[in-house]
Amino acid sequence: MEDISGKIRKRRKMMSLSQGELAEGISSQSSISRLENGSFTISLGEFVRVMERLNLSMHDVFCSGEKTPGIIVREQLDAARKEQDYDRMEEILESERSGFWKQSPELEGYRSWHHGLVKQSKGQYRMALRLINIAIEMNQKNEWMYEAVAEMHLSKGNIFSQMKYDALDSYKEAEKYYRYSDQKSFKLIIKILCNLSISYCRKNEYEKALKYSNKGINILQKNESTYLLCETFYNKVMALIALEETKEALEIIHRIEYLYESHQKLDMLENLKTYSVQNI
């Protein structure tokens, strides 16, 4: 029973409800407190109403080790998003009725977020931004969704970039929510840091661009990955050149030449070898 109590308590906190707010019109605050501490003194009818207010099904509460339909759908959307398979994304979104998505703020947020990504893929940028903003609003206070919210802000930034607008604030929000989260996906933070570095370079704020390039490189090296290393080193060298740190920029170019060759980025390498503020 302790596990059930823990699920109820976590869900209440996730929805930003106080014990009093959860109890309102159903039972007393003290009854909810006892329920969360493993003392089931409320009636079955009250318990069912508490579950309804928390958007929890009996399966969610009493079944352990089994994935709920909501979790399965979220995992399917995660897979489609990583593959940038927008047709599959749209297929998943249309496979469930509207009532299914209203089970929880997470599911509603996932639906709105991925609808936004589908709209982005079709060039409908303003509609995409509106849908992603709805998803963010639904889950920005949900600590279990902070990593997803970080990725939502990253999506916003990418849309702003496609629209030729300033995306810096969105990328800064993405980094903030990533720091709030459990920080599981180093690939996500690398994308965020790379875009922050690019954004600051575009604003000619090269000290800040260098800061985020260095952060990205450190993370990539710790994870033994070359993911986006070419682009990240490119931004770092670009910033160093603009700051007239020519010696360090040349040393980096010499050290990473093999990286660009192995990743078939010879055009970027040639730009770095014939460096100048104008041609980078």
For residue 88, how many C-alpha atoms fall within 13 Å in the half-sphere facing its CB?
A: 13
Q: What is the longest distance spanned by two Cα atoms in the chain?
A: 77
Give the mean pLDDT of the chain.
Answer: 84
Separation between Cα atoms, residue 246 and residue 165, nearest integer Å: 31
Domain with CATH 1.25.40.10 in the chain: 67-181
Residue 142's pLDDT is 81
Sign of CA dihedral 77, 79, 84, 88: negative
Q: What angle do CA 207, 165, 274 make, to 5 degrees?
A: 45
Residue 280's pLDDT is 44
H or E element that contains 67: none
Q: Between the ranges 207-211, 227-231, 250-254, 272-276, where is the mean pLDDT highest?
A: 207-211
Q: Judge whether residue 166 has pLDDT over 60.
A: yes
Domain at 67-181, CATH homologous superfamily: Tetratricopeptide repeat domain (1.25.40.10)
Among 119-123, 140-144, 186-190, the least confident range: 140-144
> With bands split at pLDDT 50, 70 and 90, how would you rate the model's confidence at 133?
very high
Which comes out higher in pLDDT, residue 226 or 1? 226
Alpha helical stretches, state H, 16-167: 19-23, 29-36, 44-53, 58-62, 69-82, 86-94, 98-101, 105-121, 125-139, 146-162
Residue 60's pLDDT is 65
State what percent of residues in the chain have pLDDT above 70: 85
- 26 phi and psi angles, rounded to 5 deg: -120, -55
The letter for the amino acid at 175 is E
Which comes out higher in pLDDT, residue 206 or 58? 206
Q: Judge whether residue 147 has pLDDT over 70.
A: yes
Other CB atoms within 10 Å distance of the CB of residue 40? 13
> Over the stretch 198-217, which tens digit does the pLDDT of each residue have?
999 999 999 999 999 999 88
Mean pLDDT of 104-131: 95
Separation between Cα atoms, residue 223 and residue 219, nearest integer Å: 6
Report yes or no: 157 and 170 within 8 Å, Cβ to Cβ.
yes
Residue 228's pLDDT is 66
For residue 116, how many C-alpha atoms fall within 13 Å in the half-sphere facing its CB?
A: 25
Domain with CATH 1.10.260.40 in the chain: 2-62
Among 67-76, 134-143, 171-180, 187-196, the least confident range: 67-76
Domain at 2-62, CATH homologous superfamily: lambda repressor-like DNA-binding domains (1.10.260.40)
pTM over 0.75: no
State what percent of residues in the chain have pLDDT above 90: 41
